[in-house]
Amino acid sequence: MTAKLYTSGIGPTDELNLRVSVGALVRVLLAHPRDGEMLLALERKATLLKSEDGYSVEVKSQPFGGALRLLDPSPLQKRIGRFHFDSEPSRLEQDFRIFIRPSDWEAVREFCLDHISRPDTSVLEADPTRELAEEFADALGIDLEPNQYTVQGVGIIMEEHPSSTEFFHAIGYPTVRIYSKFEARILDSSLASALIRNSETCSDSELREITLEDARHGGLGRANAVLTLPLNQITAAYLSVRLESRNTPISFQDHQLDETVAALLDDVPVPKYRRVS
């Protein structure tokens, strides 16, 4: 008898109320062309926020990467039955951002670990190359070529205790997270120079102005740029703060860094994340 497959709906229900987000975090490293110093490149994201007091712009730096795509939902449906995507954009893009029954979390976790550890590209996206190309295009306006960098998997981490999400289409919902970690090394010196130049010439305040201007002209009120930081300095900064402080964003050189930045650094323990491999 063939197992029943369920059409995936949208949004939470009384039963489907735990959100699961599965994504990639990419440690983008480059050597400074001048002196060879190792730099960590992050994506700076500016977002227009609306409140009762008016509008403001948040600028946060975070790892490159994003949601992995659930290319074929049927194996997961066979395992747990019904689930919903968290939003229409996630369903359209096949992003692995879903609502499940809390009792199904263990099965979903094992499903993800199985497919990340032994990639089956017909079911789950295996690497972050698509997302990297899109983010480099947004931030730099360039087409990232395969011969300009190398990429390899470096582990898996999980956040198993639910915390609210800031994802635009599902703000506030309790979410557990699985991240596949990768390291990308920039080989092309001209690309490395472009990353550094963007970081040095586009300030956070300028990014806020670009975001406001985008909103004035009917856009979503968003803008992207790059931030490059000395790898040894950012590692030392995280090691100098209390363990609990690494669970939340920190300020470094007047930039707000998302907590996922600490998860990129192998020598920096972060209490909220459990390293699987």
Q: How far apart are CA 49 and CA 153, in angstroms?
A: 34
Mean pLDDT score of the chain, rounded to an integer? 92
Residue 1 lies in a domain: no
Structural domains of the chain, count: 1
Provide the residue range defining the domain that includes 149. Answer: 9-275
Q: Looking at the domain assignment, is residue 4 inside a domain?
A: no
- Structure confidence at residue 2 (pLDDT): 46
Query: What pLDDT is recorded for position 36?
Result: 94
Tell me, yes or no, whether 193 lies in a domain: yes
The answer to whether the pTM exceeds 0.85 is: yes
- DSSP classification of residue 253: T
Q: What is the pLDDT of residues 76-96, one digit of tens each?
A: 999 999 999 999 999 999 999
For residue 2, is it within any domain?
Answer: no
The mean-pLDDT minimum among 79-88, 165-174, 201-210 falls in: 165-174
Tell whether 3 is covered by a domain.
no
Instruction: Break the chain down into helix, strand, coil percent, rounded to 5.
Output: 35, 35, 30
Calpha distance 63→44 (Å, rounded): 9
pLDDT tens-digit readout, 140-150: 999 999 999 99
